[in-house]
Amino acid sequence: MIQITEFKSLMDLLQKFSEEKICIEHLEAIRWNGNVVSPFDASSKVYKCAGFKYKCKNTGKYFNVRTGTIFEDTKVPLQKWFAAIYIVNSHKKGISSHQLAKDIAITQKSAWFLLHRIRYAFDHENFKKTFNDVVQADESFFGGKNKNRHADKKVEKSQGRAHKDKTAVLGLLEYGHVSLTVIPNTQAETMRPIIKAQVAKGAILVSDEYDPYVWLRGHCFHVVVNHSHGQYVNGAFHTNSIEGFWSQFKRGVYGIYHSVSRKHLHRYCAEFAYRYNTRTAKDPARFNYCLTGIDKRLTYKELINNE
């Protein structure tokens, strides 16, 4: 077992990862743990080359620890990447690209791209789970309030669960672990497959009286908390935890980012869900845990693609 470097603060991190070589060794320890695997052919034998490079025998291709990860082809030093990951993890409501650019001395455009790649890493299968006990379900909507718009920009019939001018997000929470899914609407045919895929058959689903949840009774034991009649606790069951998460999420969005686009909302969901799900862990542990989900790549072209 390779020893993983530990640290106690951002200053400690910068001192311990003072050179690119040290950063690479730390990344190799977490990603491969002494057993280098080719990203081109996992079954291939690997030859070690100079300069922290490796060669895949079966394909003849060269690679390094950054290949196939969010760090691939980056010109930003790993020390700055590590600092950014640490900051995003430790700032409870996130950090804007303008502020991060100042903090680690890169351009705002680079900081924006870097932050989105970190959010992309947060949305990794390593950090997801199947809910199988008491699950709270609720939806929330992101977008400007109609009452705050100028008269010629108001959207008709946009109240309640309407999604004409807002984006809906479905949230599931079990014992402090939350999962968020951006959805095009809150109709039953949209929500039910998502819930069935994430909530095990026979689990207890707690929600308000909205119809799409009621129709899941054949899959889950359903408990209704009837908010329309002033009920907020039904025996031992409630939806207060997921509603509290929405409050925290929205304060972070409005306070730090001010607004987020419909196109990128799912990545902000991944950021806030990851930070919430790892909130009881110490910052170094959250940092290292994040590095276990970096093995996928997001290019700038993919990020700005409007399709």
Q: How many domains does the chain have?
A: 1
Please state, in angstroms and rounded to a whole number, the distance separating the CA atoms of residues 208 and 238.
Answer: 9
Residue 286, number of CB atoms within 10 A of its CB: 20
In a domain, 179, yes or no: yes
In a domain, 135, yes or no: yes
Nearest to 180 by CA among 141, 232, 225: 141
**H/E/C letters for each residue in 234-297?**
ECCECCHHHHHHHHHHHHHHHHHHCCCCCCCHHHHHHHHHHHHHCCCCCHHHHHHHHHHHCCCC
| Cβ–Cβ under 8 Å, residues 118 and 188 | no
| Cβ–Cβ under 8 Å, residues 275 and 256 | no
In a domain, 195, yes or no: yes
Share of the chain above pLDDT 70, in %: 91
Helix (H, G, I), strand (E, B) or coil at 35: coil
Residue-wise pLDDT for 21-67, tens only, equals: 999 999 999 999 989 999 999 999 999 999 999 999 999 999 999 99
CB < 8 Å & 24+ apart, contacts of 182-188: 182/265, 182/266, 182/269, 183/139, 186/139, 186/161, 186/210, 186/212, 187/212, 188/212, 188/215
| Cβ–Cβ under 8 Å, residues 156 and 146 | no
In a domain, 199, yes or no: yes
- Residue owning tokens 């170094």: 284
Residue-wise pLDDT for 1-33, tens only, equals: 445 777 888 999 999 999 999 999 999 999 999
In a domain, 63, yes or no: no
In a domain, 272, yes or no: no
CB burial class (10 A; 0-12, 13-18, 19+) of residue 103?
middle
Name residues whose C-beta falls within 8 Å of residue 43's C-beta, 6 or more positions apart in sequence: 58
Provide the residue range defining the domain that includes 166.
130-262
Which residue blocks in 105-256 are alpha helix, DSSP H?
Answer: 108-122, 188-198, 211-214, 240-252
Q: With 60 as the cut, is the pLDDT of residue 191 above it?
A: yes
| Cβ–Cβ under 8 Å, residues 216 and 195 | yes
Of 175 and 1, the one with more pLDDT: 175
Torsion angles phi and psi, residue 51, rounded to 5 = 70, 35
Which residues are registered as beta bridge partners of 202?
Answer: none
Question: How is residue 224 annotated by DSSP?
Answer: E
In a domain, 123, yes or no: no
Residue-wise pLDDT for 198-230, tens only, equals: 999 989 999 888 888 887 778 889 898 888 888
Per-residue pLDDT at 34: 86
Q: Which two tokens stand for residue 231?
A: 């009920």
Per-residue pLDDT at 182: 95
Mean pLDDT of 118-138: 93
**How far lies 159's CA from each of 163, 206, 296, in Å?**
9, 24, 39
Q: What is the CATH number of the domain that holds 221?
A: 3.30.420
CB burial class (10 A; 0-12, 13-18, 19+) of residue 12?
middle
pLDDT-based confidence at residue 153 (cuts at 50, 70, 90): low
Please state, in angstroms and rounded to a whole number, the distance separating the CA atoms of residues 307 and 295.
Answer: 24
In a domain, 124, yes or no: no
